[in-house]
Structure formats: structure tokens, C-alpha cells
Amino acid sequence: MSVEEFKHILRIAGKDIDGSRKSVVALSEVKGIGYNLAQVILQSLNINPYLRVGFLTDKELSDIENALKNIRSIGVPKWYLNRQKDMDSGEDVHLITSDLDFTQSNDIEREKSVMSWRGYRHMFGLRVRGQCTRTTGRKATAVGVKKAAGKAPAGAGGAK
């Protein structure tokens, strides 16, 4: 491929990607797509994962976009998806970019509104998944003895 065909910046799933990155790394920069899932997607589309993403053709880029929109169509196993048995639709879907953030915040708000135990933990800013909290996860500053600011008041102490 020639230098004229190289794209320095391109857009995949609404994210600007540097064209000098390898395809698998560039695809994993999209929120919701990890390195392993990026490899599975590129392997199923017969795209070299070590090719620089700036050298990909327009057809290959459109194939990647279509695969990200409907990831089940390329034969990805169900357990790779990040949203199995969705609460609303009951389907297995894979969410990316802002859809993932929006759905996650809706899930947390639903937990809070039904007053589940996880909702309480979210409300008070505590660990939700059963981690130990006795010694770790402290967000405030350390509580200790404050040092006296300045001098001691007159009349207090050993002056006679």
C-alpha cells in the first residue's frame, strides 16, 4: 500500500482512532471492546490484526462497523457478550460506547429505586460486590491527632 492510501485518523464506532496503531489495539480502544474480543472480531472478518489500521480499506472498515453494530452476526459466542439476558428485552446483546454508560447508570438507578441491598451500597458509596472494607477502600483522609497550629495561649504552660 502506498502512503497516499494511509489514513492518519479514522473513526470507528464514534471514536477517533490513530491510524498508526495496529488493528487489534485500535479496535480495543472502543469502550466495550476488549483486546480478546477485538481479536475474535478481526479473525472472523479475516483481517490481519497486526496490520496498521490506517491501511485498512473502506470495505474492511465498514465490515468492522457492521460487526460492532450486530456482533452476534459474526458468530461470537454468547458468553463473550457484556449484556446477557437484558432486563428489558431478554435478549443477549453487546453494548459499546455511550450505550454501555447509559445502560449501566440506568441499572444502578433501578437498584437504588427498588431499595435492594446493592442499591443501598451504591447510595452510600460502599463496595457492592462483597469485598472486604475493614482496612481497604477508605476514601477519606487518615484520622489522627491534629498538631497545634501556632503557639500555646498565654498563661498556659510553665511561665511564672
Each residue of 6-43: pLDDT tens digit? 888 888 888 888 888 999 999 999 998 999 999 999 99
Q: How many CB atoms lie within 10 A of CB 17?
A: 20
Where do the H-state alpha helices sit in 45-155?
Answer: 58-69, 97-113, 117-123
> What is the arithmetic mean of pLDDT over 46-53?
90
What CA–CA distance (Å, rounded) separates 139 from 132?
Answer: 14
> What is the arithmetic mean of pLDDT over 73-92?
85
pTM > 0.85: yes or no: no
CATH number of 3-80: 1.10.8.50
Domain extent listing, the chain = 3-80, 96-131
What CA–CA distance (Å, rounded) separates 143 from 140?
Answer: 8
Q: What is the largest CA-CA distance in the chain?
A: 93
